[in-house]
Structure 1
Amino acid sequence: MNELKVIENELVPVYETSTGEKVVYGSELYDVLGVKSQYRDWIRNRISDCEAIENEDFEAAKILAPSGQSKTEHIIKLDTAKEMAMLERNEKGKQVRRYFIQVEKKYKTASLATQELSPQLQVMINLEIEQRRQAEKLEHVENRIESIREVVAIDTTSWRDDTGRILRKIGMECGDNKSYQDVRSESYQLLEKRMGVNVKQRLTNKRRRMADEGICKSKRDKLNYLDVIADDKKLIEGYTAIVKELAIKYGVA
């Protein structure tokens, strides 16, 4: 289920795969539902409750944690995600389920209408829809970036301290559901998704270069992902924008 693109983002981000499958990220569904238990416990229980089958109803993907180790994210088909929301048995679960149903109806209706047209018209319509989506997505991103800039200020010369302060504040505000390490991990995951980089591999390469230069192991071991980000101006810009967005998301700006 790679090559995901966002097609709906009003409540829970809904993605479309290269084959047209509608999916959601387990962690993003978990956040919107406001679940009290830990993510790993919740997802395990819900997969069991739904009798979901791996590689049919969902896929487990490895992502980076701040420690440099990998942890598991889940890419879940919309039908299964709808059932997971229903099993919460509360108003938020009902709201999310209704939202998923609306998304399903919207794209099913569009698909049926398009199938009645000639192949040539279908191609033209699909191209126009895609162009419109990209334009709307760009406008949304630009508006969101401008909004974030107005609310959260991060100095480019002290970005490491500023981003750390904001992430620690998010961790304290969110308590057990979103600790500092969890939100730090989320920031790196978003960086990898949006910037198309492998931060862990870059860290490994940096340590190897330092070893070749004769720098002692104790100094190499102290390196972290922030040191990798600091080497690339574009990564610094991308990372600070992500931390600003997280501040807005968790209401700590």
Structure 2
Amino acid sequence: MNELLKVNYDNDRITLSARELHEFLGIKSVFTTWFNRMCEYGFQESNDFLPILEESSGGRPLTDYEITLDMAKEIAMIQRSDKGKEVRQYFLELERRWNSPEAVMNRALEYSRKQVKALMEEKQGLIEENNQLKPKALFADAVSASNESILIGQLAKLIRQNGYEIGQNRLFEWMRENEYLIKKGERYNQPTQKSMDLGLFEVKERTNTNPDGSTRITLTTKVTGKGQVYFINKFLS
């Protein structure tokens, strides 16, 4: 299968660049106008897309959006053009391969390997200490022992599992209102200086090469192990 557009396989879902899709479809209107019009079809930030800041070949900052495969399929169908039909068929094939029994099994095995590794690396002293703590402290120490950062949406699931009902969108909103994430501007939804000083987040930077040879930088905000403990205890208290 020829690669029509570059896609990212991360956090159990497929995403891609809205700007690259806009370019492939040959849309004549400017990107920002087009994307805002597409959002009128009911797509929601955090669920269907995330804003990312990238740098153009000329060094100018540009806002792109990392969109889900489902959103990309709907956009392609809306265009009603040969390009739209072609790329939608490409997305359907990607989805078919992603959901094949072999791919699902491989992801499950990889997840299991990570879980086993994390358990084996726990220190005996931490286990003994955890036995004396309350359930919420047990969970908090287990998280702090992990070196892996997680997305804010995954943090919302962890908080729900510990008895506080909150979804991804509400958690984003709460973090912005409480000055853990930036409310507006080019750094929208990125950590505030206060959050970074506390060690609650880290920003993962990824450099991608565009079809024209230019590069773009993708910034993804993730919650550190310390941040997971901090926010879970804050909601539980």
Same fold (TM over 0.5): no
State the TM-score, normalized to the length of structure 1: 0.41
Structure having the higher helix fraction is 1
Q: Which has more strand, going by share of residues?
A: 2
- Which of the pair has the greater relative contact order for Cα pairs under 8 Å at 6+ separation? 2
